[in-house]
Amino acid sequence: MISPRTRPRESGVTLIITLVMLVMLTLFVLAGIRLANVNLRITGNFQWQKQMEMLTDSAIEQLVSSSATFDDAAVQAGTAAAKDICSDGSVVTAGTCSITNPKIGSVTAPQCTKSQPATGYTKKLGELAPDDNNWVIKADATDSVSGAKVTLYRGVTVRMLAEHCPE
C-alpha cells in the first residue's frame, strides 16, 4: 500500500477538461433552446399574419358578393365611408363593433378605376350598353395581441349599366 506521503502529485488536468466540456455542452443546450424559442415566435407570428389575411380577404369577399355594394349612391358619388372589420370577420358600419367583438381593421369603399364597353354588345343611338367597370377595394387589419398588420388590395371587374363608374 502506498502511503499518502509517497503518492505522486496529481495535477487535476482531468477535472479541468471535464469542467470545460461541461461548460461547452451547457452553451450548446442554451443555444438550442434560444433557437427553438425564436423559431416558435416566427411560426406564431406567421400564423397571426395568415389569420389577419384571411379576415381581410373575407371582409372584401363580403362586399364583392353583393352587387348593391357597387350600385350604392354614396359609392357612385365617391363619398362612401369606410366600414369596420370586427374580430369575427363581419363587416359593419363604422363604430358598431362591440366590446366582445372589437374592431380589428377597416375596408375602404370600392373605387372605380376604369370603365370600358363590355365585349359582345353593340351600342345603338339612345340605348345603354353595359360597361365592364374595374373596382379596387382596400382592407387593412391589425391584431392587438401579436401586432401583426395586413393590408390587402383586391381588384374586381363588375359588368354594370353604362355611366356607373365615377372616374
Mean of the pLDDT values across residues 116-120?
A: 83
Cell of 160: 354594370
pLDDT given at position 31: 96
User: Using an 8 Å Cβ cutoff, are 55 and 155 in contact?
Assistant: no
Q: What residues does each domain of the chain span?
A: 13-161
pLDDT given at position 162: 78
Question: What DSSP character marks residue 78?
Answer: T
Q: How many residues does the chain have?
A: 167
Task: Please report, for residues 36, 58, 99, 165, the alpha-carbon distance to residue 135 in angstroms, rounded to integers and kept in the order given.
Answer: 45, 17, 33, 9
Mean of the pLDDT values across residues 95-122?
A: 87
125 pLDDT tier (thresholds 50, 70, 90): low
User: Using an 8 Å Cβ cutoff, are 153 and 111 in contact?
Assistant: no
- 96-110, 122-136, 141-155: the lowest-pLDDT one: 122-136
Mean of the pLDDT values across residues 134-154?
A: 89
- 11-15, 39-43, 93-97, 122-126: the lowest-pLDDT one: 122-126
- 1-5, 63-67, 115-119: the lowest-pLDDT one: 1-5
Residue whose grid cell is 383586391: 154
Helix (H) or strand (E) holding 133: strand 130-142
